[in-house]
A and B are shown apart, each in its own frame.
Chain A
Amino acid sequence: KQEVTQIPAALSVPEGENLVLNCSFTDSAIYNLQWFRQDPGKGLTSLLLIQSSQREQTSGRLNASLDKSSGRSTLYIAASQPGDSATYLCAVRGGYSTLTFGKGTMLLVSP
C-alpha cells in the first residue's frame, strides 16, 4: 500500500528565505505527483502537477522536482512571503485511480 511522508511537519522561516519541502513515497509505480496548498479551514488549491515521466515543473516562485526511482519529490519556494503561510500537501496518483496524500507541512513565514 502506498505511503506518503512529508518532512518537516512544520516549518517557520523569516520572509525572503528560500525553502524546500520534502515528500517521499514508498511505491514508485505512480502516474503523477501533485502539490497542493491548503489554508486553514479551506479547500485545496493545486500548485503543481508532475507527470511520472517528468523531472520538474515550475510556476512562478515554485519549483517541484520528482525522482520517481527513489520515491522523492521536493517543492522549492523562492523568496518566501507571509502570504505563502499555509499547509502544503503532497499527493501521488497510483493504480486503481487512488490519490494518496501525505500529512502535510505547515509553513509559517514571518514578516
Chain B
Amino acid sequence: EAQVTQNPRYLITVTGKKLTVTCSQNMNHEYMSWYRQDPGLGLRQIYYSMNVEVTDKGDVPEGYKVSRKEKRNFPLILESPSPNQTSLYFCASSWDSGSYEQYFGPGTRLTVT
C-alpha cells in the first residue's frame, strides 16, 4: 500500500531535550516536505527536499533541522525544543515539486512542556 508513515504519532517532551520525528514514504517520490498545523494559523511549511541531499527552508524553519540521506526518509529534528513548537506535524511527499499531488502522513502531535 502506498503511504507516508510518521513516528511517533504522539510525543510529550520537555524543553531542550533533542528529538527526531521520522518520516518515510514507499512511493519512490523525489519531493518531501514537513508542515506544522496550529489553530488559527493553518498549515505552514517548515522544510522541503527536492531530492537526496537537497533541502531548503519553507516558511517557518527556525528551530528545526532536516536531512535527506535516502530517498524514502526525511526526518525532522528539533535540537532544543521549546513550548512554541507544540503543534501537529505532517510529513508529505510527491513525485516532484510542481505538477503532482502531495500525499500526507497521519501526523505527529508534539507537546513540549
Interface pick from B11-19, B64-72, B73-81, B97-105:
B97-105
- Convert B90-111 into 0s and 1s, putting 1 for each residue whose CB lies closer than 8 angstroms to a CB of A: 1010000111111111110000
The yes or no answer to A61 lying at the interface (CB within 8 A) is: no
B7 located at the interface, meaning its Cβ lies under 8 Å from any Cβ of chain A in the complex? no
What is the bound-complex CA distance between A18 and B82, given in angstroms? Answer: 45
- The reply on B50 being an interface residue by CB < 8 A is yes
* Complex contact B107–A43 (CB within 8 A): yes
A99–B42 touching, CB < 8 Å:
no
Contact across chains for A99 and B102 when beta carbons are under 8 A apart: yes
Q: Nearest chain-B residue to A101 (Cβ)? A: B43
Give Cα A62 to B104, complex, Å: 20
Residues of chain B within 8 A (CB-CB) of A103 are: 40-42
- Asked if A98 and B99 make an inter-chain contact with CB atoms under 8 angstroms apart, the answer reads no
Q: A-B contact count, CB below 8 Å? A: 60
Question: Contact at A43–B101, with CB atoms within 8 Å?
Answer: no
Q: Within the complex, which residue of B33, B42, B48, B102 is in contact with A46, where a contact is CB–CB below 8 Å?
A: B102
Is A44 a contact of B90 with CB atoms below 8 Å? yes
In Å, the complex CA distance between A100 and B58 comes to 10
Closest partner residue, chain B, to A34 (CB atom): B101
Partner of B45, one of A31, A51, A98: A98
Chain B residues within an 8 Å CB radius of A46: 101-104
In the complex, chain A residues whose CB is within 8 Å of the CB of B102: 34, 46, 91, 99
- Taking a contact as CB atoms under 8 Å apart, the answer to whether A97 and B31 are in contact is yes
Contacts of B35 in A (CB 8 A): 99, 101
Q: A43-B90, A97-B97 are in contact. Are A89 and B43 (CB under 8 A)?
A: yes
Nearest-neighbour CB distance to chain A for B90, whole angstroms, equals 6
Complex CA gap A103/B40 in Å reads 7
Given A101-B42, A102-B42, 4 extra CB contacts under 8 A: A34-B102, A89-B43, A91-B43, A98-B59
